[in-house]
Structure 1
């Protein structure tokens, strides 16, 4: 990445109300938390911990009035952990990515399948891509109502590859193939660095791709 490209990404992140250092700190803290898991934990615990703690760090930092002014809002509605910009212009969630995170010369997709709610949010992002974004007002959490579903949702994607490199990017998804997000209107590489002490299993986020199915039958008298 050239110096000009780095400055452009830094400027774009500033427009979004965040900084690369915040995401580095969030992922470092999440990794430290996930390393505390042992073989006596549930098999998926390290991955869930990494995913949850990354989102928790973002939420705790951005909603703290001593660190952020104005403060962001937080919601876990539909089990999608999101921080919401004070203006309501966009939200951010952290998820694991696969294939080419942080490398604009390669394609990237979400690592785990996503469910119906996430698919609708990604589809809504197309309106933002086409300039249909509007200024959104907040009510308290009863909570954001339909406003939460209509605001652009950015992904903080993270990945550790077989070479021991941990990579991250902030990207705006606009399309899914099946249950995987694989098309983006913007990708902002954050960093790629070697982290040999991090177990690759830590980056397996929980699978939210299996929505419950219900059979609706006429009520019998």
Structure 2
């Protein structure tokens, strides 16, 4: 990455109210917690712990008035763990990715399937794109805030390289193929770290569909 690109990415993060250090700290702390899992835990526990704690530590930093001013908000509505910018201009959630995360020349997608609620949020992100870049919020939206379902939702997308190293990017999804997010209007590479030593993508979230996608046949009880 050239110096100009690095400066441009840093400026965009500042515009969004976040930093490389914020994400690195959250991911590093989540890695330490997930490493405490043993073979006596459920097989998916390291991945679940990593996903949950990444979102937790991100929220703890952004909602702490001693570290962040103004403070962000936090919600778990629809089982989507989100931090919300103080003026309601955008939100961020951490999920695992598949493909070469952090490499802007390669395609990436969410590693695990997403439900109906996430699909609608991703689809809504398209309307915030303007002149090739996603709008954070208009002046009126910044002044009066915005509803949770009517603001851009960014992904802190994390994954592992072929040699096992932790990589991350902050990206804005705009399209899904089936239940997987696979198109993005913006991607901001963050960093490459050490090998966490476990599968960080083995279940990163519960189903967020807000209800079952299964179809049931209802039959009347026969009369006797």
Fold shared, TM-score > 0.5 on shorter chain = yes
Structure 1 residue runs of 4+, over 3 Å off? 130-134, 213-220
> Is this contact kept in 2: 1:154–1:170, CA < 8 A?
yes
Tell me the TM-score normalized by structure 1.
0.88
Counterpart in the other structure of 1:72: 72
Distance 1:217 1:67 in 2: 54
Choose which of 200, 203, 209 in structure 1 pairs with 2:201. 203
Bigger shift: residues 75-84 or 160-169: 160-169
Count of residues in correspondence between the two structures: 211
Distance 1:26 1:216 in 2: 45
Correspondence 1:26 to 2:37: no
User: Secondary structure of 1:106's partner?
Assistant: coil
Correspondence 1:15 to 2:18: no
Distance 1:216 1:122 in 2: 31
Counterpart in the other structure of 1:39: 39
Gaps of 5+ in 2: none
> Is this contact kept in 1: 2:101–2:168, CA < 8 A?
yes
Tell me the TM-score normalized by structure 2.
0.87
Correspondence 1:148 to 2:148: yes
What is the root-mean-square deviation of aligned Cα atoms in Å?
Answer: 2.3
Correspondence 1:164 to 2:178: no
Correspondence 1:184 to 2:195: no
Report how far residue 162 of structure 1 moved: 2.9
User: Secondary structure of 1:201's partner?
Assistant: coil
Distance 1:102 1:181 in 2: 16
